[in-house]
Amino acid sequence: ALTREQVRLSKRLSLVLRHRPETAGLTLDPNGWVPVAELLAALKISRADLDAVVAGNDKSRFAVAPGADGADRIRASQGHSRRVNVDLELAAVEPPPVLFHGTPRANLASIRKEGLRPRSRNHVHLSPDVPTALVVGRRRSTDVVVLEVRAGAMAGSGHVFHRSENGVWLTATVPPEFLRER
C-alpha cells in the first residue's frame, strides 16, 4: 500500500496528467505523454519517488515507456478531461457481450432518458465486472446502482470500444436502449 505522502503524489499526477497539466507548467503531447525528466523537474520529485507511486498504484493509472528519442515518457492510461484533448491511439476492440457501469442512484432518471454520456471526460468509462463497477460508483455515493451495458449489441450496431492499458473499457456514449438495470 502507498504511504499518505505517496497517495498525495498519485493524486497530483492524476491532476497534472489528466486534467490540468498547466498547474505544473507542463503540456502533454497530442497522445498524452510528458517526458519523465520534465515531470520530475516540475514536481521536484526523484525518479525513485515517481517509480514507487507508478508501481504501487492500485489501478495502474500511469504508464511509463520510452519515446522515439529513447527517453522515458509518462502518461495517464485513462480518465482524461475533455479539455486536455488527448488521443490515446487505442485500437478498436471487440467488447465482451456485457459490460457494467456503477453510478449513484440519483443519476438514474437522467440516464434513462439520455443514456450514459462522458460528461467532463473524453469517454464513458465501463467496468469489466460488477465488483469493479460498484467501486467506481461508491466514489460518489453510498447508494449505487450497477447498470448492465449490452456492449455486444452496441458493437453490432457500429459503436466503437477501446480498452485502456489498465483494463477500463471506453466508448463515446451509451444510448438508453443498450442499458439494463440490475
- Residue 26: helix, strand or coil by DSSP? coil
Residue 125 is placed in which grid cell?
Answer: 468509462
Who's near 158: CB < 8 A, 6+ residues apart? none
Q: Residue 110 interacts with ligand HQG (CB under 6 A)?
A: yes
Instruction: Choose one: 28-36, 84-92, 116-124, 150-158; the region binding ligand HQG (CB under 6 A).
Output: 116-124
- Per the CB < 8 A criterion, the answer to whether 29 and 12 are in contact is no
Q: In this structure, which amino acid lies at residue 2?
A: L
- Residue 12: helix, strand or coil by DSSP? helix
139 to 168: interface string for ligand HQG, x by CB under 6 A:
-x---------------------------x
Cα(13)–Cα(123) distance, rounded to whole angstroms? 20
Residue of 59, 90, 128, 165 interacting with ligand HQG (CB under 6 A): 59
Instruction: Choose one: 3-11, 37-45, 64-72, 101-109; the region binding ligand HQG (CB under 6 A).
Output: 101-109
Residues that bind ligand HQG (CB under 6 A): 59, 61, 79, 103-104, 107, 110-111, 114, 116-117, 119-121, 125, 136, 140, 168
